[in-house]
Amino acid sequence: MSKPVGIVTGAGSGIGLAVATHLISKGYKVVIADLNPTTGAEAAKSLGPDAKFIQTDVASYGSQARLFKQAYEWGGNRLDFCHANAGIDDRQYIYDDKEELDEEGLVKPLNTKSMQVNLEAVIQGLWLFKYYVRRSKESGGGKGKFVATSSAAGLYYMTTNPQYTASKYGVIGLVRSAGPVFVKENITVNCICPGFIPTNLCPPQILEVWPKEHITPMKTALDAIDAFLGDDSMTGQAVELSLDKLYFREMVPWANASQKWIGEESLSIWDEAYSKVPTKTGY
């Protein structure tokens, strides 16, 4: 039987590299997808023949679509796992008081690259993953595990990175909404919400002063991946990683019975309404 195949984005460094290494130790073939050609290629080389580097900019749909097609073909027409993990912090402060104007005198837009990489790319990644998992049955697959990387910032707040925080909240919303639906076709959708794990995401001057008692070890992230891999019924989960523990986070409680009814029981009304619209294109 062929080996299961995974894609890990942002696998040239940090959490992605650790997850890719872990998957290979568990018998997977893994595509290292990263924007950085140097670290990505080095990572794949150090991991051996079951790793392949594909340079990818997840913020570009075309680049990500090519990644998925190439990964599926390299894996023998099979895809089983995706960790949509690539992420960046905010590239411009929303608090900036040096806004620039264009020729028309309009305020130029805020740089929202962190939204594109951390959220938009994750949504498109799930879209692509579903397509290839459905086509993996004949090659021994057909069961998919999709994991996204949110953040503890997606559960709390981070005043220094508001767009980043919004993107990480968005990832949790995606997982909680789509996760329970995809399980019907053997795809689970979950996310990790790391506390502070020392990686290249963090500027060196912060790493130097960060108190050791507030560091979450990389092993906690791998424990979460193992929890998702080991349980086919676990979907729609956001797991916070703090120190050596996993905290499976519930959504906020329903405000009242009305909100609970809308959330849990109004689906048939929505389904009925949408069934009269052949496609949502055009909305």
Ligand X SMILES: NC(=O)c1ccc[n+]([C@@H]2O[C@H](COP(=O)([O-])OP(=O)(O)OC[C@H]3O[C@@H](n4cnc5c(N)ncnc54)[C@H](O)[C@@H]3O)[C@@H](O)[C@H]2O)c1
Does 246 contact ligand X by CB under 6 A?
A: no
Strands 144-149 and 187-194: what pairing?
parallel
**Measured between alpha carbons, how far is residue 37 from residues 23, 43, 104 in Å?**
21, 10, 39
Return contacts of 18-22, CB within 8 angstroms, 24+ apart: 18/218, 18/221, 18/222, 19/83, 19/85, 19/221, 19/222, 19/225, 20/47, 20/51, 21/47, 22/222, 22/225
Residue 22 C-beta-side C-alpha neighbours within 13 Å: 20
Taking alpha carbons only, the member of 228, 272, 271, 266 closest to residue 246 is 228
User: Site for ligand X (CB under 6 A): which residue of 85, 124, 165, 188?
Assistant: 85
* 164 among known catalytic residues: yes
Write down the least CB distance from residue 234 to ligand X, Å.
Answer: 20
Does 117 contact ligand X by CB under 6 A?
A: yes
Taking residues 147 to 166 in sequence order and writing x for each that binds ligand X by CB under 6 A, - otherwise, the string is --x-x---------------
**Measured between alpha carbons, how far is residue 69 from residues 56, 60, 258, 282 in Å?**
12, 15, 44, 27
Active-site pick, 28, 164, 169, 247: 164
Restricted to residues 196-225, the positions that interact with ligand X (CB under 6 A) are: 196-197, 199-201
Scanning 21-29, 50-58, 72-80, 126-134 for contacts with ligand X by CB under 6 A, the matching segment is: 50-58
Does 87 contact ligand X by CB under 6 A?
A: yes
Residue closer to ligand X by CB (options 136, 237) is: 237
Does 92 contact ligand X by CB under 6 A?
A: no
Does 190 contact ligand X by CB under 6 A?
A: no
Residues that bind ligand X (CB under 6 A): 9-10, 12-16, 34-36, 39, 56-59, 85-88, 117-118, 149, 151, 194, 196-197, 199-201
Give catalytic residues, as residue numbers.
164
